[in-house]
Copies of this chain bind each other. A is one copy, B any other.
Amino acid sequence: MTTYAVPSTGGPLTLPPAALARAAELIAPALDAAVARLDPTLRGPVQHHLDGGGKRVRAALVLVSAAATGTPEEVGVPGAVAVELVHNYSLLHDDIIDGDHERRHRTTVWVEYGVGPAIVAGDALAGLALQVLLEEPTSERVRAAARLADANQAMIAGQASDMAFERRSTVTVAECLAMEEGKTGALVACATALGALLAGAPAATVGALEAYGAHLGIAFQAVDDLLGIWGEPALTGKPVGSDLLAGKKTLPVAMAMAAGGGGAEELQALLAGEMAEADVARATRLVEQCGARDEVVALADRHLAQALDALASVELAEGPRAELVAIARYVTARDR
């Protein structure tokens, strides 16, 4: 169990909202059909990756956002499939980049099939996302495709910054936030925008849902950063302090460095070297003592609240709006 306070805007929700399972079911036929379009040579690595599942949070955000504007969820399916494809290609490539051996309790594609097939499988999923949207080039789908292409580029920029940070001894809070807005936030904001775009919703509605997604993406990543240091290994599937062990410059670290003083210097020195268990414990304490952990908790709460405010700023269908609130609470819960 986690020992710190849950967000003031929501309690811990260990049960995933119904929208996630519904999204998984709703997109399955279209996702299967898309993958079936791939050359047989590619299907092994791609299927190995996709069989790992995933929570389908982004797909659910597309579908429920579409429904929130008053259309049937089904209208969002091509967007939901495309967003999941982009998310999964980025995971496939990230696993190579980070040298990760496991994802979703399975071997990663590059370990199972080799780096070359994993690069190409990722390329195939990235390309497929655009094919899915452009195969019926209505003006809504074309707009969605352009929006997804932009989000993909922002995500790539975030990933590039993340890699660049590894070679630096320190990063500012602003740099770290910009990186996370790209790496995680861009695709989440795109998901909610896509639902509204595919539904042909007015610009104000698209904007409000996109703002909800953008704030949610930041809150989600901030919580992920907290779990990367203080998460229960039994829940996260990663060792205690895994992000510190990997020397990652996540938000809590950037905030601790911004606090300055001897603690920041000591933390910087620890992160620059090989860390033993005691070093990880010491680094964790340093981030706590300067108040950085509490600051990140507050930041996550603030962005969650802003996400919910954005939802309240326009007229939306009541059921889907409640589901968007539930999804937001779920993905920012500290015990997920």
Partner-B contacts on A (CB < 8 A): 37-39, 41-42, 93, 96-97, 115-117, 119-124, 126-128, 130-131, 134-135, 137, 139, 142-143, 145-146, 149-150, 152-153, 156-157, 159-161, 163-164, 182
Chain B minimum-CB-distance residue to A92: B119
- Contact between A137 and B131, CB atoms less than 8 A apart: no
- Contact between A97 and B126, CB atoms less than 8 A apart: no
Query: Once bound together, how far apart are the Cα atoms of A146 and B134, in whole Å?
Result: 6
Query: Once bound together, how far apart are the Cα atoms of A39 and B126, in whole Å?
Result: 19
For A93, list chain B residues within 8 Å (CB): 119-120, 123
For A96, list chain B residues within 8 Å (CB): 115-116, 119
Query: Once bound together, how far apart are the Cα atoms of A214 and B157, in whole Å?
Result: 35
Query: Once bound together, how far apart are the Cα atoms of A121 and B153, in whole Å?
Result: 10
Output the residue of A122, A139, A149, A164 with the most chain B CB within 10 A. Answer: A149
SS of A interface (majority): helix
Chain B minimum-CB-distance residue to A164: B41
A156 touches which one: B42, B97, B115, B159 (CB < 8 A)?
A: B42
Chain B minimum-CB-distance residue to A152: B127
For A134, list chain B residues within 8 Å (CB): 142, 145-146, 149
- Contact between A97 and B123, CB atoms less than 8 A apart: no
Known: A119-B119, A131-B150, A134-B142. A39 touches B97 (CB 8 A): no
